[in-house]
Structure 1
Amino acid sequence: MKKDLFSESVRLAYTVKNLRRTFELWGYKEIFLPSVEEYSPNLRKGTKFAYNNKFYMFKPDPTSQILANLKEKRELKLYYILEVLNGTTKGEWQAGIEFIGGNDLMVQVEGILIAITALESLGINEFYIDVGSLEVWKRALKGIEEYKPQIITALSRRNFEKIEGLPIPSAKKEELWKLFNFRGKKCEYQKLNKIIEAVDDKRVFVDFGTIRILPYYSDIIFEVYSPKFGKPIGGGGEYEIKGMKAFGFAFDLKAILKLYEGDLEKTRKIISGELKEAYNKAKQLVRLGIPVEVRK
């Protein structure tokens, strides 16, 4: 049965309104990205097509699209609400932010706190955030780099059995196993400890089993989970662009819609009566920021 586009759009609109407000309270500005970009191997996701003997990408991953368009060094705080395609005609709606040009630790801490406050603005409080590190895994894979693609794929799928079958020393497998299963509030990697301490939220943990394999991530990554949903509802990570530190994340809006249980709108003032009089009254209330509905 086909979804009711109109009902779903109403729910999406009210959810996005709250997210926009939170992003803007943190000082972020909305960016309107074009639906079509000339093809580049640096663009992620999207659907590739040919036109006039050139290749293009339709609705690619927004982070890679922003990086492709950043021609000079500049500090930016951006957010976006858009649909991303994944190689077909179907896509997923995302809401996310990018903090480009901040100080190390600052970009990670602010990014995670924006994710927390954005969910709280929707009345979603039952969630947790797992923060991991690609740098820690880079160090752990030293000496067995030839198996890195298989190991990273196995980790991203939470399938350690694939690693057990690799011809690497037992001591190294034990090291990877301990890392894969580590989850707590404190670890040996001080950068992560400082982030967890600064965020100061009981729902945020160090979890080295958290892996995100998008190629632009440089170190710190995180994912947001809810016990009411079977997969991550959002995630992001740290990257570098033109010598600047940056951090971004995106929410899966389909997942957010399933978790959002709040009222869709404020109580509206119902106005009726003679047409001119009713609309004059409605106009005055709207100017005061009061929601209205004119009825016959």
Structure 2
Amino acid sequence: MEDQKLSDIAYSIRKSCHDSGYSEIFPPAYVKSDRIGGFRFIFRNDVYVLEPDITLRLMNNRFPGNSRVYYISRQADEFLGESLKAGLEIIGAVPGEANIEILKMAIKILDDLGIRDYNIDISITDVFDPYRKKKDGDIILNAVKNRNYPQLQNMDIDGMDKLFQIMDTRTRNSGIPELDSILEEINDPRVIIDLGTVRQPEYYRGLIFEIYGRHEFLGGGGNYVIKKMNGCGFSLDLQALSKLYGDVQR
């Protein structure tokens, strides 16, 4: 039954992407690197990572400008825990236009699956730049991501009040033109500005977003640079989607 649901979800995602002009790609199963997170192994004295983050697998590919691609692929963590991910990437397009399109595609995919009870929280990496550059920047951002207020209160952070204000800002009018214009263009109440949103890994620069169901984290994405070209994309967790997909099919 679970395999059938995942098959139905994958079919729907492929149809949504194909109908919108996206081409399917098949990322490599491993990459050569000693810096990327995931399950590592050594072969002939070189370090490889098995099924790492999808975007990192695409970094070695060459794409023509204005490429629109999608994929469905396994991803492994350092303990060989697996997840099945589907995602889209727009590479080499005008960043502002790509942001609108990629968010609309996330909405289309979920709506085509019959899933409508979800929220998309958007933010921008710039708001945390002053904290990212601090000595304990990674620890601070990880605490923000987990909403760990006690940990932050026990740290010596200049501008603590401002940091908490950012973390607690959920709005439809942030005063940040890039974010406010996205809400105006998309005009969907399920999209909200949440300045406390933090995305990892650290290659994201610019727009970032996360997608939540009633109780499930469904996926997320944002802007990055690949081969000196702007990229924008997201991934979705098919197992998480299957929990909501089952509800709407009954």
Which of residues 127, 131, 146 in structure 2 aligns to 1:141? 131
Percent identity reads 29
Which of residues 72, 79, 95 in structure 1 aligns to 2:86? 95
Report the Cα distance in structure 1 between the residues aligned to 2:195 and 2:61, rounded to whole angstroms.
Answer: 32
For 2:47, the equivalent position in structure 1 comes to 55
Query: Residues 136 and 189 of structure 1 are in contact (CA less than 8 Å); yes or no, is this contact kept in structure 2?
Result: no
Structure 1 residues 145 and 89: CA distance shift in structure 2, 3 A: closer
Query: Residues 60 and 84 of structure 1 are in contact (CA less than 8 Å); yes or no, is this contact kept in structure 2?
Result: yes
Report the Cα distance in structure 1 between the residues aligned to 2:118 and 2:249, rounded to whole angstroms.
Answer: 20
Q: Bigger radius of gyration, 1 or 2?
A: 1
Deviations 1:166-208 (A, max 9, x none): 2234xx1111111110001011211111111111111100001
Query: The residue matched to 1:105 in structure 2 has which SS?
Result: helix
Q: CA RMSD in A?
A: 1.9
Query: Residues 59 and 227 of structure 2 are in contact (CA less than 8 Å); yes or no, is this contact kept in structure 1?
Result: no
Structure 1 residues 78 and 56: CA distance shift in structure 2, 3 A: same
* Structure 2 gap ranges (5+): none
Report the Cα distance in structure 2 between the residues aligned to 1:218 and 1:225, rounded to whole angstroms.
Answer: 21
Query: Residues 30 and 57 of structure 2 are in contact (CA less than 8 Å); yes or no, is this contact kept in structure 1?
Result: no
Report the Cα distance in structure 2 between the residues aligned to 1:61 and 1:18, rounded to whole angstroms.
Answer: 23
Which of residues 206, 224, 234 in structure 2 aligns to 1:239? 224
- Report the CA distance between 1:164 and its aligned residue: 1.4
Letter in 2 for 1:13: S
- Report the CA distance between 1:73 and its aligned residue: 5.9
Residue 70 of structure 2 corresponds to residue 83 of structure 1: no
Residue 241 of structure 2 corresponds to residue 251 of structure 1: no
Deviations 1:42-90 (A, max 9, x none): x443x211223322222121111101223x7633211010110001332
Q: Choose between structure 1 and 2 for higher RCO, CA contacts under 8 A separated by at least 6 residues.
A: 2
For 1:277, the equivalent position in structure 2 comes to none
Which of residues 135, 155, 172 in structure 2 aligns to 1:166? 155
For 1:20, the equivalent position in structure 2 comes to 14
1:274-285 correspondence runs (5 A) = none
Task: Count how many residue pairs are aligned between Structure 1 and Structure 2.
Answer: 249
Report the Cα distance in structure 2 between the residues aligned to 1:33 and 1:199, rounded to whole angstroms.
Answer: 30
Residue 92 of structure 2 corresponds to residue 107 of structure 1: no
Following TM superposition, the consecutive aligned residue runs of length 4 or more in structure 1 with deviations greater than 4 angstroms are none
Report the Cα distance in structure 1 between the residues aligned to 2:143 and 2:172, rounded to whole angstroms.
Answer: 24
Deviates more, 1:31-40 or 1:213-222: 31-40
TM-score, normalised to structure 1, is: 0.79
* Structure 1 gap ranges (5+): 1-6, 265-296
Report the Cα distance in structure 2 between the residues aligned to 1:164 and 1:237, rounded to whole angstroms.
Answer: 29
Residue 141 of structure 2 corresponds to residue 152 of structure 1: yes
Deviates more, 1:198-207 or 1:49-58: 49-58
Deviations 1:232-251 (A, max 9, x none): 11111111223322111011
